Amino acid sequence: MSVTIERCAPHQADELVRFIDDEWERGHVLASSRALLDWQYKNGDGSYSFLVARQRGTIVGMLGYISTKRYDPSLADANVVWLTTWKVRADANVAGLGLSLLRHVDETERHVAIGAIGFNPATRPMYAALGYRIGELPHYVAVPNRSPAARGLAAVEVDGASQCDGLRISSDRGRVPQKSPRYFRTRYLEHPFYRYRLVSLRDGDACVGLLAVRLAEHDGLRALRIVDFLGDPGALAQSGGAIQSMIREHDAAYADVYNAGIDADVFAHAGFRLVDPDGDTIVPDHFEPFERKNIRLWYAIRTVALPILFKGDADQDRPNRLPSRAA
Is 308 part of any domain?
Answer: no
Residue 156 pLDDT? 87
Is 147 part of any domain?
Answer: yes
Please give the Cα distance from 38 to 199 (Å, whole number). 27
Which residue range(s) make up the domain with 252? 139-295
SS (H, E, C) the chain: CCEEEEEECHHHHHHHHHHHHHHHCCCCHHHHCHHHHHHHHECCCCCEEEEEEEECCEEEEEEEEEEHHHCCHHHHHHCEEEEEEEEECCCCCCCCHHHHHHHHHHHHCCCCEEEEECCCHHHHHHHHHCCCEEEEECEEEECCCCCCCCCCCEEEEECCHHHHHCCCCCCCCCEECCCCHHHHHHHHHCCCCCCCEEEEEEECCEEEEEEEEEEEEECCEEEEEEEEEEECHHHHHCCHHHHHHHHHHCCCCEEEEEEECCCHHHHHHCCCEECCCCCCCCCCCCECCECCCCCCEEEEEECCCEECEECCCCCCCCCCCCCHHHC
Both 173 and 270 in one domain: the answer is yes
Please give the Cα distance from 133 to 231 (Å, whole number). 24
Both 183 and 260 in one domain: the answer is yes
Which of 96, 111, 126 delimits the end of a domain?
111
Both 35 and 156 in one domain: the answer is no
pTM for this entry? 0.94
Is 269 part of any domain?
Answer: yes
Is 21 part of any domain?
Answer: yes
| Total domain count, the chain | 2
Is 105 part of any domain?
Answer: yes
Is 253 part of any domain?
Answer: yes
Q: At 55, which CATH number?
A: 3.40.630.30
Q: Tell me the one-letter amino acid at 131.
A: G
Is residue 239 within 8 Å of residue 201, measured between CB atoms? Answer: yes
Please give the Cα distance from 211 to 231 (Å, whole number). 9
Both 7 and 89 in one domain: the answer is yes
Q: At 262, which CATH number?
A: 3.40.630
Both 154 and 38 in one domain: the answer is no
Which of 73, 91, 111 delimits the end of a domain?
111
Is 327 part of any domain?
Answer: no
Please give the Cα distance from 274 to 257 (Å, whole number). 10
pLDDT tens by residue, the chain, 327 residues: 689 999 999 999 999 999 999 999 999 999 999 999 999 999 999 999 999 999 999 999 999 999 999 999 999 999 999 999 999 998 998 999 999 999 999 999 999 999 999 999 999 999 999 999 999 999 999 999 876 555 688 888 887 545 555 555 656 667 999 999 999 999 999 999 999 999 999 988 888 899 999 999 999 999 999 999 999 899 999 999 999 999 999 999 999 999 999 999 999 999 999 999 999 999 999 998 899 999 999 999 999 999 999 999 999 999 988 755 444
